[in-house]
Amino acid sequence: MYKVDNNGFYGKFGGAFIPEMMHKNIEYLQNEYLQIIQTKEFQENFRGLLRDYVGRPSPLYFSEALSNKYGGRIYLKREDLNHTGSHKINNTIGQILLAKHLGKKRIIAETGAGQHGVATATVCAKAGLECIVYMGATDVQRQQPNVEKMNFLGAKVVPVTSGNKTLKDATNEAIRDWISNPEDTHYIIGSVVGPHPYPDMVARFQSVISEEIKVQLLEKTGNENPSKVIACVGGGSNAAGAFYHFLDQKQVELIAVEAAGKGVDTGESAATTALGNTGVLHGAMTLLMQTEDGQIVEPYSVSAGLDYPGIGPLHSHLFDSNRASFINVTDNEALDAALELTNLEGIIPALESSHALAALNKIEIADEEVVILNLSGRGDKDMETYLNYFNSKNC
């Protein structure tokens, strides 16, 4: 009911709204992706790498301190402990195996903050494939450490100087590249966005998160279903992975957390469900923030991974059908939540994940409830932001 249909739609969202020149590539993927990724050989390779290269299963950690503070029993799904520091590697591992299977020699990707770029450069180094990462020129300057990592991993980072010189412009450039190089190139999209089959394919690769949660919860509590699952949503891939095997379990409450930036009404926000409406973004019918004449509104969040003007079609459908509740969290609420987890548990979370943590303040949790919070990544990349915020707060 909440999974993709045969035409690539989730309710009225999804599909493939793409330039004529992309049809051949996309149609091929649409026809082949399920057959390829469901073979025994593919699954063995994928599972083996998730175990030995990524370090899965990621632990499910009972946070006594958060439980004492917010009620219920709160468990953190530790995607922060994965190789390269977040859930993004689950998807890039899957897609590099697909690219190899298809005999592709060249990988392209686009990246905003650089996290997906690093995860892509990592698997390309491992697979020995050429890697080109398109990145807005503004982002290249803002995200120097990740640019250096990609370069060190052997990827070529191409600064894009059109438009606002950010993620949207990098995406256009990646699409242009794919159209010019349809034969030898695979395009690795980093979230549950883009034309069908990407949202479904990425959700399936990330669904290992909820698959593991079920096994781990059963072991720890005797029940594989929690009361609530909380995850942050940029494009929506970590949330899709954490929700996936609970989508049809109506008793499991799904809570998606968006970035309000400086506040939903400030004009500097990325809270798509609060501010957006239906339109086409990156090849899919979905919810996005746009002006009356359909121009994309530049999003804002302190967290680079949530700084995206839409959400993927699965999440648009979960919102539209009320299957998931969507709440939003400001920059400052997320920053305070990051410090709280650091102080209570000695775990420094990614700024994106801190939005999910801040949601604990905004929901009711009954004593008997079991709550899963997907800790999508670690905070090393955000130390400068954390230090600046808390230094300025203290003086």
For residue 149, CA distances in Å to 35, 260, 340 come to 34, 29, 29
3-state secondary structure of 11: coil
Taking the least distance from each CB to ligand PLP, the nearer of 171 and 238 is 238
Amino acid (one-letter) located at 325: S
110 is catalytic: yes
Q: Residue 281 Cβ, how far from ligand PLP at the closest point, in Å? A: 14
The H or E element that residue 243 is part of is helix 237-243
Nearest position to ligand PLP, beta carbon = 377
Q: How far is the CB of 193 from ligand PLP (least distance, A)?
A: 8
> How far apart are the C-alpha atoms of 283 and 285, rounded to whole Å?
7
Backbone angles phi, psi at 176, to 5 degrees: -60, -45
Asked if 95 touches ligand PLP (CB under 6 A), the answer is: no
Whether 118 contacts 150, CB under 8 Å: yes
Binding to ligand PLP by residue 236, rule CB under 6 A? yes
In three-state secondary structure terms, 99 is helix
In whole angstroms, the minimum distance from the beta carbon of 147 to ligand PLP comes to: 16
63 flagged as catalytic: no
**Encoding tokens for residue 93?**
């591992």
Binding status of residue 232 toward ligand PLP by CB under 6 A: yes
**Residue linked to tokens 């604990």:** 360
Pick the binder of ligand PLP from 94, 334, 377, 386 (CB under 6 A): 377
Stretch that binds ligand PLP, among 13-21, 153-161, 207-215, 226-234 (CB under 6 A): 226-234
305 near ligand PLP, judged by CB under 6 A: yes
CA 194 to CA 181: how far, in whole Å? 18
Q: Which amino acid is at 301?
A: S
Q: Is 354 in the site for ligand PLP (CB under 6 A)?
A: no
Say if residue 44 is exposed, middle or buried (CB neighbours under 10 Å; 0-12, 13-18, 19+): exposed
Nearest CB to ligand PLP, comparing residues 72 and 309: 309
Among 353, 354, 358, 371, binds ligand PLP (CB under 6 A): 353
Q: Is there a cis peptide before residue 182, judged by omega within 30 degrees of 0?
A: no
Among 234, 261, 276, 299, indicate the residue that binds ligand PLP (CB under 6 A): 234
For position 15 contacting ligand PLP by CB under 6 A, the verdict is: no
Residues with a catalytic annotation lie at 88, 110, 376
Q: Could you list the residues that contact ligand PLP (CB under 6 A)?
A: 86, 88, 115, 191, 232-238, 305-306, 350, 352-353, 376-377
